Structure 1
């Protein structure tokens, strides 16, 4: 991406607050980008956890992706609802639109996973336009979050540091994953996640350790971790102490596991390129990427 590009903002999941969305739009414009907002971005419906009807949310997303003037699609917020759109999108039309950038996290994991499978495009797991770390403070976005997003969009991303190692080693592979709850919910669908030959990134919010155990067990029994090369664990805000269960369920896979990355929920929220080559190095307790041909991890 470059300054002057046009980007779209849509609400495929929960409803955004109008004040936060407006403030977020101003900040994205401050990056030198032109912003268009989906026609239904501020819609509501009787199910108050959804930003309008499924058909309207899907139409906004598809229209933004298929617009030849749009270089990237930002999601306004997470919550719930993106998974309801997957069967409503015209994947052939979106595939024909070519490579663009999708930015979002949390519930947007459903789109990250489906876009990788259906469109084969890398996406950015990062903060959303109407979330607190971008638009919650009238004085400006959270600085580390903002700089990481800027770097992901316009330049080379810096390695993201963790704070603990659950299993030592070094691994290289395409980064995939996102929110654990969403990944588990896609088991048994045509968009079932697979980490084979890849580095799995996982995070979640407000889940008790036993629920994390259940979701990891579901993914393990579904074969999602078969052939995984390494695991990067992000934030676990409001999850108590998740590390005993994370180590119990993932430590026996025989691959490097780095944990405590500031990616997912909470503050700061570092941006990660999914679908690009990354490197886990437990000696430096970091995840580096994207690593492209001819480059080496720092």
Structure 2
């Protein structure tokens, strides 16, 4: 396997944005993390087919190894084969859970670079893959809903706002994501968007795929973490230098995290950059999509995050 590449700096305009999907495109559903529920995944696959996509699933998607969707080698093979298949336009992760950090060292990054850019989508534990794909492939990727998760695969069908926004993300350009509170006001910030799940970003400290926030808007969210644990992880990111030079923060959902906002304000406000919060991104419902690595903008006046924007390079 190839050695990890030197980190690709996020350019002023962000990473390479993969082509949007078209009806009839082939998408591959793989399970690089925890094992998906078979009934939920079947529902999620039907949703994707109803969107006009042709869906294939990884050969090992229903493997089981304790809390993992099969062995590390099998999960890595499914992801790599799907990415390198020229017939596949997008790779969608079935669910999060745990396990993505175990496979990044097993991927043949040279082969995956040769395959060219395409869409990767997923959230939660998939944060590790978003970081690795940014570093190794220089490609932007979608942080959003997954086929075997509740916002897509509930018995009554996908959650409407989630489905509408996810469809726009895959096929076009989604509407801005609006939050419900401004923690630190400031001017509109235009910069690449980085980040994802706080737990994973803290776990990636000291690895080749650690967060580098300089000159970027940082998206953060989590689930089931008490405020003191959020404090501990933010402190780790701050002390490691991962948040040095951040241009702003967009805070997503904090489901079952108690009241995280005093802690978030205490740790992030001293950085002196805009911080908006309450965005429906992460583990909550609805679950909207954000293109990590692409140029975006946060606006404290409207408390919104706009993704995949285009501005003259001299204006960035």
Settle same-fold status: TM greater than 0.5: yes
**Separation in structure 2 between the aligned mates of residue 157 and residue 220 of structure 1, nearest angstrom:** 31
Give 1:189's aligned residue.
Answer: 207
Secondary structure (helix, strand or coil) at the match of 1:189 reads: coil
Confirm or deny that 1:62 pairs with 2:80. yes
Confirm or deny that 1:15 pairs with 2:15. no
Give 2:141's aligned residue.
Answer: 123
**Separation in structure 2 between the aligned mates of residue 183 and residue 244 of structure 1, nearest angstrom:** 20
Give 1:154's aligned residue.
Answer: 171
Secondary structure (helix, strand or coil) at the match of 1:68 reads: coil
**Separation in structure 2 between the aligned mates of residue 273 and residue 237 of structure 1, nearest angstrom:** 21
Question: C-alpha deviations, 1:131-184, integer Å up to 9, x for none?
Answer: 011002x23100000001001011111011101001001211000100000000
Question: C-alpha deviations, 1:25-79, integer Å up to 9, x for none?
Answer: 011011111001000001012xx21000000000000000000000100000000
Give 2:216's aligned residue.
Answer: 198
Give 2:49's aligned residue.
Answer: 29
**Separation in structure 2 between the aligned mates of residue 106 and residue 177 of structure 1, nearest angstrom:** 11
**Separation in structure 2 between the aligned mates of residue 26 and residue 199 of structure 1, nearest angstrom:** 35
Which of 222, 238, 254 is the matching residue for 2:256? 238
Provide structure 2 residue ranges, at least 5 long, that are not aligned to the other structure.
1-20
Which of 119, 132, 138 is the matching residue for 1:114? 132
Give 1:217's aligned residue.
Answer: 235
| Aligned residues of 1:172 and 1:230 also touching (Cα < 8 A) | no
- CA positional deviation for 1:294: 5.9
1:287-298 map, 5 Å = 287-293=305-311
Secondary structure (helix, strand or coil) at the match of 2:92 reads: strand
Question: C-alpha deviations, 1:231-250, integer Å up to 9, x for none?
Answer: 00000000000000000000
Question: C-alpha deviations, 1:215-263, integer Å up to 9, x for none?
Answer: 0000001111111101000000000000000000000101000000000
**Separation in structure 2 between the aligned mates of residue 64 and residue 148 of structure 1, nearest angstrom:** 24
- CA positional deviation for 1:13: 0.3
Give 1:42's aligned residue.
Answer: 62
Secondary structure (helix, strand or coil) at the match of 1:58 reads: helix
**Separation in structure 2 between the aligned mates of residue 230 and residue 152 of structure 1, nearest angstrom:** 23
1:267-286 map, 5 Å = 267-286=285-304
Give 1:168's aligned residue.
Answer: 185
- CA positional deviation for 1:210: 0.5
Number of equivalences:
292
**Separation in structure 1 between the aligned mates of residue 269 and residue 174 of structure 2, nearest angstrom:** 28
Secondary structure (helix, strand or coil) at the match of 2:106 reads: coil
**Separation in structure 2 between the aligned mates of residue 191 and residue 75 of structure 1, nearest angstrom:** 19
**Separation in structure 1 between the aligned mates of residue 216 and residue 174 of structure 2, nearest angstrom:** 19
**Separation in structure 2 between the aligned mates of residue 249 and residue 118 of structure 1, nearest angstrom:** 30
Give 1:3's aligned residue.
Answer: 23
| Aligned residues of 1:174 and 1:198 also touching (Cα < 8 A) | yes
Give 1:139's aligned residue.
Answer: 156
Structure 1 runs of 4+ with >4 Å offset: none
